[in-house]
Amino acid sequence: HDDPALRIAEVVTSAQRGGAERIALDLSVGLKQHGLRSRLVILGRPTRVPFEVPSDTIDASGLGGPGTDHRARRAARRLVAEGMDLVHGHLLDRDTVAAFRARSLPVALTVHNTASAWPAGTRQLGEGDASLLIGCAQVVEAQLRESGLTLPVRTVWNGVDFSEFNSDPGRLERARAWREGIGLSP
């Protein structure tokens, strides 16, 4: 595992279809395209339809033991063994973050929601829990600052892969058929 590339673990609570999960998945794939080493780590089972995940994903959801923090401790041992340099967490509560920090893994946390939907313990994060808090929007960054947290906070907007919206003959035909099916003219 000795190479000069930065190694980042994108850790998310599950692979269920949702915004934060999509961001973690896209980052785990996109960072590789920029010469970085990246692995997706899933800590829990989805409660709704899941995304397809890369074959090298670390799926800790099936590991025995009570709670997400137990699965995080087991995943953290694996990340250390693989020489990961950073844990980039999504939707992680404070106990789960502590499991990664206990293995001396630096943690950056993206906070994907406004304050009313923050994971448990977010307001109690202190020095040593995370190196950086990332708000997905300026309002989230402002709420993190207003909460009195002493950690560095920045806004990083979520990227959008517009290639999924490119026109192709099949997509144009499906759109035409859909419009006609609901009675709209061209």
Q: At residue 135, what is the residue type?
A: G
Question: What residues pair up with 154 in beta bridges, in sequence order?
Answer: 134
Query: Which H helix or E strand runs over 132?
Result: strand 132-135
Distance from C-alpha of 71 to C-alpha of 42, rounded to nearest angstrom? 9
CB-side neighbour CA atoms (13 Å) of 151: 26
What's the rounded Cα separation, in Å, for the pair 30 and 94? Answer: 27
User: Considering the entire predicted model, what is its pTM?
Assistant: 0.86
From residue 154, give the alpha-carbon distance in Å to each of 136, 137, 144, 160. Answer: 9, 9, 9, 19
> Residue holding tokens 């950690």?
151
CA distance 140 to 170: 39
CB 138, CB 155: distance < 8 Å: yes
Q: What is the pLDDT of residue 14?
A: 95
Judge contact between 21 and 12, C-beta under 8 A: yes
- What is the rounded distance in angstroms from the CA atom of residue 78 to the CA atom of residue 76? 5
**Tens of pLDDT along 33-81?**
899 999 999 999 999 999 999 999 999 998 876 677 789 999 999 999 9
186 pLDDT more than 80:
no
pLDDT of residue 166: 80
| Mean confidence (pLDDT) of the chain | 92
Quick check: 174 pLDDT over 80?
Answer: yes
* Residues 72-121: tens digit of each pLDDT: 999 999 999 999 999 999 999 999 999 999 999 999 999 999 999 999 99
Q: What is the pLDDT averaged over residues 25-40?
A: 93
For a pLDDT cut of 90, what percent of the chain falls above it? 78
Q: Cβ distance 151 to 133 under 8 Å?
A: yes
Under the banding of pLDDT at 50, 70 and 90, the label for residue 1 is: low
Confidence of residue 165 (pLDDT cuts 50, 70, 90): confident
For residue 73, give both structure tokens: 């401790």
